[in-house]
């Protein structure tokens, strides 16, 4: 029978781990406690001991204690738990994972959770859950639950939070998977979207779905692009309509929504058909105005909302971004095409709008043409949000996917 695995350092969070296990038992959900601690003595007995965890990491508890390096112990525990859970999942034994932790426990728990497929229930009760959690969540479906108080004792604050964590993972683990013949059986097409390219993507999405595909739309906020690249590399995606490549601009300019240097590479490596465009490459993203680096003083800024500030990319930056995009698409093994909208890249890059800049667009397009050797490049006399552009992009991808069948 599948089991929920409770991850905790039992020298400091043993009582709390046992409380969660007992809550799960009351809900008739089997649970086992995994000890990820190293130094102190466990407060309760583990179902899977710390000795086993460090052996899975290629070391031993004695060696870790002798080294007396907290950072190394955390790293080894994360490795061991990851190997444990991936092996258990491969054997069909994981109903879900529930982690308890401060900084060390959160690193250990979420490292293992990120190694599990999307859809496996993952709940992390953490003292760090009210801050920036991207480094813990990555591109996986991890539920971060703020512990409010430190995870030390069962009290009027921790009791309902830990109870809710157990209920959450129990509820997720108890719901059956989608039945056969559900829409999830259709081939998947990935699309990328930003608020300023929504009209284009919504129309293209409709066209793709009419052709018999299921669509996944990724918000191009860094994490969204990373998630899409991961799913492509895992073989889940049949085609990519990468209309909004704005994360390349953030990577080039130091914006806050970069998806890293490997953005726009997974489809090419996997040979997945892709249609690529330049949505929102007219902007790099920062948070409140005071987060824009001093080196960009005097640049054209646009307040998207009180906590997001957009910076117009220059012709020079666009040339670098275009070269990056062109090289990556040119290196792709599968069917590919680049579509360029002559009249603007986003809702605010259009005639009369704040980021309208024909010179920057030409620098971008020129660099793409120079570096996307051997790639079909289609320039359309439309704005990216014009229905004609969306329809052309959808048709092009559908044609490319047909050639691969």
User: For 176-219, what is each residue's pLDDT tens digit?
Assistant: 665 544 556 799 999 999 999 999 999 999 999 999 999 999 99
The domain total for the chain is 2
Same domain, 144 and 227: no
CATH of the domain at 159: 3.40.50.12020
Domain boundary, last residue among 147, 174, 201: 174
Same domain, 98 and 187: no
Q: Confidence band (pLDDT; 50, 70, 90) for 405?
A: low
Q: Who has greater pLDDT, 183 or 374?
A: 374
Q: 3-state DSSP call for residue 176?
A: coil
Same domain, 190 and 156: no
Beta-sheet strand order (sheet of 336-341): 214-219, 188-193, 239-242, 274-276, 336-341, 376-380
The neighbouring-strand residues paired with 125 are: 100, 145
Query: Is the separation of the CB atoms in 303 and 309 below 8 Å?
Result: yes
pLDDT at 185: 79
Q: Any idea how long the chain is?
A: 405
Same domain, 248 and 355: yes
Same domain, 166 and 300: no
Running DSSP on this structure, what letter comes out for residue 290? G
Structural domain that includes position 145: 3-174
Same domain, 158 and 202: no
Q: Confidence band (pLDDT; 50, 70, 90) for 404?
A: confident
Distances (CA, A) of 178 to 116, 182, 184, 213, 270: 18, 7, 8, 17, 27
Same domain, 145 and 201: no
List pLDDT tens digits, range 26-55: 999 999 999 999 999 999 999 999 999 999
Q: Would you call 177 exposed, middle or buried from its count of C-beta atoms within 10 A (0-12, 13-18, 19+)?
A: exposed
Same domain, 307 and 188: yes
Q: What percent of the chain has pLDDT over 90?
A: 94
List pLDDT tens digits, range 248-267: 999 999 999 999 999 999 99
pLDDT at 180: 45
CATH of the domain at 341: 3.40.50.12030
Q: Confidence band (pLDDT; 50, 70, 90) for 74?
A: very high
pLDDT at 178: 56
Same domain, 267 and 165: no
Q: Mean pLDDT across the stretch 286-303?
A: 95
pTM of this structure: 0.84
Domain boundary, last residue among 118, 147, 174: 174
Same domain, 143 and 230: no
Same domain, 164 and 268: no
Query: Is the separation of the CB atoms in 220 and 226 below 8 Å?
Result: no
Q: What angle do CA 305, 308, 313 make, to 5 degrees?
A: 115
Same domain, 272 and 389: yes
Domain boundary, last residue among 142, 174, 206: 174
């Amino acid at each position: 029978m599948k089991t929920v695995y409770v991850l905790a350092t039992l020298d400091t969070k043993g009582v709390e781990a046992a409380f969660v296990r007992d809550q799960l038992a009351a809900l008739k959900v089997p649970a086992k406690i995994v000890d990820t601690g190293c130094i102190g003595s466990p407060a309760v007995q583990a179902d899977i001991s710390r000795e086993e965890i460090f052996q899975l990491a290629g070391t031993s508890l004695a060696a870790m204690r002798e080294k007396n390096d907290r950072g190394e112990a955390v790293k080894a525990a994360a490795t061991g738990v990851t190997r444990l859970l991936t092996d258990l999942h491969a054997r069909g034994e994981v109903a879900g994972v529930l982690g308890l932790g401060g900084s060390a426990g959160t690193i250990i728990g979420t490292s293992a959770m990120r190694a599990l497929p999307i859809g496996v229930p993952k709940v992390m009760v953490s003292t760090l859950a009210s801050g920036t959690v991207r480094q813990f969540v990555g591109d996986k479906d991890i539920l971060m639950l703020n512990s409010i108080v430190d995870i030390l004792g069962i009290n009027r604050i921790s009791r309902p939070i830990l109870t809710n964590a157990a209920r959450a993972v129990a509820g997720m683990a108890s719901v059956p998977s989608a039945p056969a013949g559900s829409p999830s059986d259709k081939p998947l097409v990935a699309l990328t979207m930003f608020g300023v390219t929504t009209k284009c993507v919504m129309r293209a999405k409709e066209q793709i779905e009419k052709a018999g595909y299921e669509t996944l739309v990724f918000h191009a906020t860094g994490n969204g692009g990373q998630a899409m690249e991961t799913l492509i590399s895992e073989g889940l995606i049949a085609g990519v309509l990468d209309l909004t490549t704005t994360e390349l601009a953030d990577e080039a300019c130091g914006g806050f929504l970069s998806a890293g240097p490997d953005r726009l590479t997974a489809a090419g490596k996997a040979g997945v058909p892709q249609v690529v465009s330049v949505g929102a490459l007219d902007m790099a993203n920062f948070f409140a105005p005071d987060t824009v680096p001093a080196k960009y003083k005097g640049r054209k800024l646009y307040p998207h909302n009180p906590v997001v500030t957009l910076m117009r990319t220059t012709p020079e930056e666009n040339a670098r971004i275009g070269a990056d995009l062109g090289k990556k698409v040119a290196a792709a093994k599968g069917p590919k095409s680049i579509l360029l909208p002559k009249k603007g890249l986003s809702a605010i890059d259009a005639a009369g709008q704040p980021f309208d800049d024909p010179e920057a667009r030409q620098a971008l397009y020129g660099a793409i043409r120079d570096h996307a050797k051997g790639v079909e490049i289609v320039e359309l006399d439309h704005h990216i949000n014009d229905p004609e552009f969306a329809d052309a992009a959808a048709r092009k991808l559908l044609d490319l996917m047909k050639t691969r069948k």
